[in-house]
Structure 1
Amino acid sequence: MSAISRACRSAPRVLLRQCASRFATVSAPVSASLPVSRLSRRTYATALDTANLLKKSGSQGAYKAIPKRFWESANVQTTEDGHQINLGTRPVKTSSGNPLVVPHNKTALAHLIVQEWATLPNLQIKPHSLPLTSIAARAIDIQKMPTQAEVDDVRNAICKALLPYVDTDTMLIFAPSHEYDGRLRAEQEERYRPIIEWAETHLFNGNKLSYMDGDKGLTGNPQTEEIRNLALEYMLGLSHWELTAFERAVLGGKSFLGGIKLVRKELTTSELAELVSLENIHQMRRWGEVEDSHDVDWADLRRQLGSAAVLLITD
């Protein structure tokens, strides 16, 4: 124990208890009567490394205090440019330094963003904490690019990243007919096929979409060049706000067709989330739900699709 004691001696006093606790945990299986020389090398090294880490952490302790909120209330300030989101008297800024100002016709979005900040307990912001703030900031930063050429570059990059989803769309992959006693394939045919046929008629000029048939094995389903060009044309025709919502919907649901339907407000968040999760739903019906896995994934999917849907709401 003398070597570990020397390692811990110069560590902050407030951390010595943590060091001792950690050592007790890792060395618990070893009899207390055994000398240090007979401890396993891995156990001894683990305790020694812990002591060294605690020593390097500084006199303020191993854990940094979480910054507290600096505002008492969040609010909406209507300006000539739109609805500005403030924390107290300070405007919220995007990652590019632009004030978070949403258009006048997106009053609901502005107040829902305020609600996000009003319920934020501290400044320990996690990726899922501010979905509406992040997606609105994304649209604003695209719109506020210094030059039109830069705006076009960003939009083209988004379209290029989303175009492969035309080939791998969730709604273009059909399960084998024998799986889940045929129930999954039957539901896919019932719910995916009308959307596919609608897209072929109204978006792809009558061109037939290729789809993966599980009865024929795992084969790719690349679309024709004409379909890809029409898909690109569709994306470039969207406004900045629509393209931002479409981007999140496609990335969240892994469905190009689903993203189109959400932007057109022809599917609700719940409907789209269920459509792109049909296989998982059938798995859970048969095998049950895995706690802290299926439920977390479902909540995250609805959060992403929901923020995209809210971005599209207008007065």
Structure 2
Amino acid sequence: MSEWKAKRFWKSVETRAEADGYGVFLDGRPVRTPAKVPLILPTEGFAEAVRAEWEAVDEVIDPGQMPFTRTANAAIDKVAVQKDEVADMIAEYGGTDLLCYRAEAPEALRARQDAGWDPLLDWARQTYGARLAVTSGVMHLAQAPEALVPLRAAVHACNPFQLAALHDLVSLSGSLVIGLAVANGQSSPEALWALSRIDETWQEEQWGEDEEAQNQAALKRAAFLHAAEVWRLSGMH
């Protein structure tokens, strides 16, 4: 038995300013989330990105081809209703940040990590007053609580759309500092993604590329860059 799929039923797609943001309308009817909540976006740019996805639907609605709509749905239906819990989950990455764990050997890899990651930790200290300690190896290093407080505060200051973006930036990179660096425009998302992949890039240089690993890395990179764009479109409030 074939699976039922929703098909395009509308002719026109438009955005409109609403009291609390921007809505997307199909033949004058508002788009709603899976939880039946009006899909209200925080900025006109975000609404335009969602509008373009609905406009691009040919015959069958394929959520896989609508990443901005999917992220907006998640922000409204999931993040907004448990905002503090999501923020806490993201902030926890500060205690095990990728940038704080360096290789014991070889020296060349350690030097590459130091060169790429030390400036980011310096930036976190200068921007947030967060002094994160660094260790060699994989054994857990407990960070001083006072180093994590300002990072947690920065996460909790985000709106639900920003949190949805930050969640992916942090979880994909393994680094709260990298996620916040993207959010603050410390460097380009592409450059920061490359810094999160120093270890993997090193392994590829030593042992050659693995096709499956390359495909997975490409998917993660695309998701990271999408999250960076969602953050950009989510406004600073």
TM range (shorter): 0.7 to 0.9
Query: Which is bigger in relative contact order (C-alpha 8 A, separation at least 6)?
Result: 2
**1-side partners of 2:212 and 2:54: how far apart?**
26
1:94 aligns with 2:19: no
Structure 2 length-normalised TM = 0.83
Matched, 1:211 2:134: yes
**Residues 183, 231 of structure 2: 8 Å contact kept:** no
The alignment partner of 1:167 has SS state of helix
Task: Map 1:129-278; keep pairs closer than 5 Å.
Answer: 129-141=65-77, 154-178=82-106, 182-204=107-129, 208-214=131-137, 218-278=138-198
- Map of 1:75 onto structure 2: 14
Shift, 1:225, TM fit: 1.9
Task: Report how far residue 74 of structure 1 moved.
Answer: 3.3
Amino acid at match of 2:28: T
% identity of equivalent residues: 24
Deviation, 1:294, is 1.7
CA distance, structure 2, for counterparts of residue 239 and residue 92 of structure 1: 21
Structure-2 change in CA distance of 1:67 and 1:141 (3 Å): closer
What TM-score, normalized by structure 1, do the two folds share?
0.65
**Contact map agreement 2:97 2:174 (CA 8 A) in 1:** yes
Cα pair 2:24 2:39 within 8 Å, conserved: yes
Post-superposition Cα deviations, 1:72-99, rounded to whole Å, max 9, x if no partner, equal 4533233444321123333221233221
Unaligned residue ranges in structure 1 (runs of 5+) = 1-61, 146-150
In terms of Rg, which structure is larger?
1
Q: What do you get for the CA RMSD once the two structures are aligned?
A: 2.7
Evaluate the alpha carbon distance shift between residue 86 and residue 291 of structure 1 in structure 2; reply closer, same or farther with a 3 A threshold.
farther
